[in-house]
Chains A and B, each alone.
Chain A
Amino acid sequence: MTAVTETRTSTARVRRRGDRSRAASVGLHATLIVASVIAVFPVLWVLLTSLKPAAYATTTDFFKDPTLANYTKLLQDTPFLTWFGNSLLIAGLTTVLGVFIAATTGYAVSRFRFPGKRGLMWTLLITQMFPMAVLIVPLYNIMSDLGLLNQAAGLVITYLTIAVPFCAWMMKGFFDTIPREIDESGMVDGLTPFGTFWRLILPLAKPGLAVTAFYSFVTAWGEVAYASAFMVGDENLTLAGGLQKFVNQYGAQWGPMTAASVLIAIPAAIVFLFAQRHLVTGVSAGAVKG
C-alpha cells in the first residue's frame, strides 16, 4: 500500500524514500540469505538424509543413490504408524476442544464485566509460568487414580491446560478488535448472548481461530515431558515418546529416524501453512491488545 502511494507521489524526487544504494541492497540480501540458510539447513539435511541408503546416512553428499528404503523400513518394521495415530488423535482432540474453550473464555473476558474477571485474567497469565516440575508428580497421581494413565484422554486434558490460557489471551485480543456495535445489533435482533457469539462474532474471528488452532495443535503434537512420563508401552506412545525410544533402542540408526522426522514434520507443516497467513495478525493482535 505505502509502496504504491510513494512511487506515485515522489517521482519528482531524485532519490525516493526506501531506495538504497546497491551496496546496501547486496548487504541486506546477503544477511537474509545467510539467515535463511541457517533456518532451513537442519530441516533440509534431515530430509536429504532420509532419502539416502542407511549405510550412507552420515556422508556429507547432498544426494547419494536416492531411495525410499528408510521409509518402507520405518513403516513395516516399527510401531511408527501406531504412534502416529496416537499423536494425531490426541492433537486433534486438543485442538477442537482448545479452540472452543479458548474462544468462549476470550469472548466472555473481552465483552462482559463480571465479578472474578480480573482474577481469571491473572490466573490465565500465571498458569503460563507453572513449571511442569511442580505439577507433574501430583498430576501423575491424579491420572493414575482416575485410570487415565496411558489413555489419550489424560494427555488431552493435560495439554488443554497448557494451550488454553495462552489461546484465551490471544482470542481476547481478537475479540477486542471486533466492534461492539455488532454485538448490540445482534441483541436488538433478538439473539441470545450465546447466539450473538456463535452466529455473528465467531465467523468474524476466523483468523484468531486459525492461530488458536495452530497453537493448540503444535503444543500437543510436540510436547515431550508429560508424554514421556504418562505413556508407557509401545502401543500407547505418542511420536515424541516414540522417537526417543527409537534412538535408544535401535542405536544411532539415523536412516529410519530421519524418515520418521520427516513424516512427523509434515502434518505440522500443513497446519502451519493454513495458519501462517493469519499468524502475523494473530500474534501481534494478541500481544498488542493483551
Chain B
Amino acid sequence: MAVHTGQSVAKAAGDPEVTRGRSRGTGKPPGGLRRSLSTHWYAWAMVAPVVAVIGVIVGYPLVRGIYLSLTDANERNVERNIGVNHLPATYEFVGLDNYADALTGGQFMSTLGWTLVWTVSCVGLTFALGLGLANILNRRIAGRSAYRMMLILPWAVPGFVSVFAWRFLYNEDRGFLNKLLAGGGFDAVPWLNDPTWAKFSVIAVNIWLGVPFMLVALLGGLQSIPGEMYEAAEMDGAGPWQRFRHITMPGLRSVSTTVILLSTIWTFNMFPVIFLLTRGGPGEATQILVTQAYKFSFEISPRDFALSSTWGVLILLLLMIFAVVYQRVLRKQGDTW
C-alpha cells in the first residue's frame, strides 16, 4: 500500500494529464490524488488555453518537423493533390543521413559561422550602446524625456517598415547615404551589393532596431538601484569608474542576464531583417541559418522540406545548448535564476 501511494505522488508531480487518466483507470482514486485534483483544477483551468495552443500549434508541428528531418521529403514526394488526383506520400525514412550531410558539408558550417558572428556582434554592440545611453539618460539632464522619446522611436515603428526605410537609404544609385557621400566627394558604397559591405549593413540595421529595447530595459534596471548607494560610495571616496564597476554593474545584473539571453535568441532567429534587406544575398553572403532554412522550404525548386527541417532542428538544439550553458555559468556565479 505504501508503495502505491508513493508511486501516485511521484506521478502527481509530473504531467497532469497522466495523473488524471491514471486515477480514472484505477477505479478508486487514492485520497491524495483526488485532493490534488480538487485543489489544483483551478490553476490547471487557468493555464489550459496556453497548454492547448502550445500543444497543437507548437508541439505537433515540432514532432512532425523532427520526423520530416529523418526522411527525404521534398515537394515531389509528399502527399499532394494535382487537379483531382490524390497522390500519396512516397518519401522514405533515411535515419540520420540529413544530419550527417549537414554537419559534414560546408554549407551548414559556413552559414553557422556567419550566424555566430552576426549574433555576437549584434548583441554585444546593442548591449554596449544601450548601456551607454541608459547611463546618460539616468542622469539629470535637460530634455531627458524628449531624448528618450526619440531614442525609442525605432521600437515604435514596425520592423518591416524600418527595414524598407533602410533599404531606401542604402540604395546604391540613388539612396540618401551615397548621395551624402557624393556630396563630400566620396565614391558610392555598394551597401547591399558587396558581400562585406552587406554584412556590415545588416548588422547596423539590426543594432538600430535593437537598441531601444536594451535602453528601456537597462534604464528600468538603473532606476531600481537606490541613489543612497552612490552617495555612500562617494562618501567613501569611490571615483566614477569604481561606482560604475561596483554599484551599477552588479545592480544591473539580473536585468542584463535576462535581456542578453532573450536578445541572443531573438537575434539568432532574426528573420525579417535579413530576408527583407538582402534576401540572404549577394550570393549567400548574409544568409543566416533561419533564412537559409526558409529558403530550402519555400524558395528553391523542388522545395526541400527534409533539409529545411533538419536545419531547423539543429538551430533549436544549438539554442537549447546555449540556454543551458548560460544558466549553468550564471548559477556557478551565484545567481538563483
| A interface with B by C-beta (< 8 Å) | 2-3, 17-18, 25, 28-29, 31-32, 35-36, 38-40, 42-43, 45-46, 49, 58, 60, 101-102, 104-105, 107-109, 112, 114-117, 119-120, 123-139, 141-142, 157-158, 160-161, 164-165, 168, 193-194, 197, 218, 221-222, 224-225, 229, 239-240, 243-244, 247, 252, 254, 257-258, 261, 264-265, 268-269, 272-273, 276, 279-281, 283-285, 287-288, 290
Contact = CB atoms under 8 A, between A and B. Distances in A.
B47 interface: yes
B150 A104 contact: no
A125 B224 CA distance: 25
A116 B168 contact: no
Nearest to A125: B323
B165 A280 contact: no
Given A2-B227, A224-B276, 7 more contacts: A115-B13, A129-B269, A134-B65, A136-B294, A222-B161, A224-B159, A280-B216
Contacts of A116: 14-16, 44
Contact of B157 (A38, A58, A269): A269
Contacts of A31: 132-133, 136
Given A105-B47, A131-B290, A134-B315, A39 B153 contact: yes
Contacts of B47: 104-105, 108-109, 120
A288 B269 contact: no
B298 A229 contact: yes
B140 A225 contact: no
Contacts of A39: 150-154, 208, 211-212
A284 B224 contact: yes
24 contacts: A2-B227, A29-B141, A35-B133, A35-B151, A36-B147, A39-B150, A42-B165, A112-B40, A115-B14, A123-B54, A126-B323, A129-B269, A130-B62, A139-B61, A142-B57, A161-B53, A221-B158, A257-B164, A258-B168, A261-B165, A265-B157, A285-B220, A287-B217, A287-B259
B84 to A, nearest CB: 17
B216 A279 contact: yes
Contact of A40 (B44, B150, B171, B316): B150
Given A127-B58, A288-B255, A107 B160 contact: no
Given A42-B162, A265-B161, A132 B271 contact: yes
B329 to A, nearest CB: 17
Contact of A158 (B36, B57, B133, B319): B57
Given A115-B36, A138-B64, A258-B168, A129 B316 contact: yes
Interface string B312-337: 11011001100100000000000000
* Interface of A: prevailing SS: helix
Contacts of B139: 18, 28
Contact of B294 (A158, A161, A168, A225): A225
A158 B234 CA distance: 52
B46 A243 contact: no
Contacts of B154: 39, 42-43
B158 A265 contact: yes
Contacts of B294: 132-133, 136, 225
B293 A43 contact: no
A102, A133, A134 interface centre (most CB from chain B within 10 Å) = A133
A123 B323 CA distance: 13
B68 interface: yes
A253 to B, nearest CB: 11
Interface in B220-241: 220-221, 223-224, 227, 230-231, 234
A261 B276 CA distance: 14
B308 interface: yes
Contacts of A244: 276
Question: Interface SS of chain B: helix, strand, loop or mixed?
Answer: helix
A135 B312 contact: yes
Contact of B323 (A28, A129, A168): A129
Interface in B265-318: 265, 269, 271-272, 275-276, 289-290, 293-294, 297-298, 305, 308-309, 311-313, 315-316
B315 A131 contact: yes
B43 A112 contact: yes
A247 B217 contact: no
B158 A107 contact: no
Interface in B124-160: 129, 132-133, 136-137, 139-142, 147, 149-160
B180 interface: yes
A142 B60 contact: yes
B16 to A, nearest CB: 5
B262 interface: yes
A288 B254 contact: yes
A105 B50 contact: yes
Given A28-B139, A139-B57, A284-B220, A126 B320 contact: yes
Interface centre among A31, A117, A222, A229 (most CB of B within 10 A): A222
Contacts of B289: 131, 133
Contacts of B259: 287
Contacts of A137: 65, 68, 297, 305, 308-309
A17 B320 CA distance: 46
Contacts of B155: 272
A234 to B, nearest CB: 18
B50 A135 contact: no
B220 A131 contact: no
B179 interface: yes
Contact of B15 (A119, A131, A164, A290): A119
B222 to A, nearest CB: 9
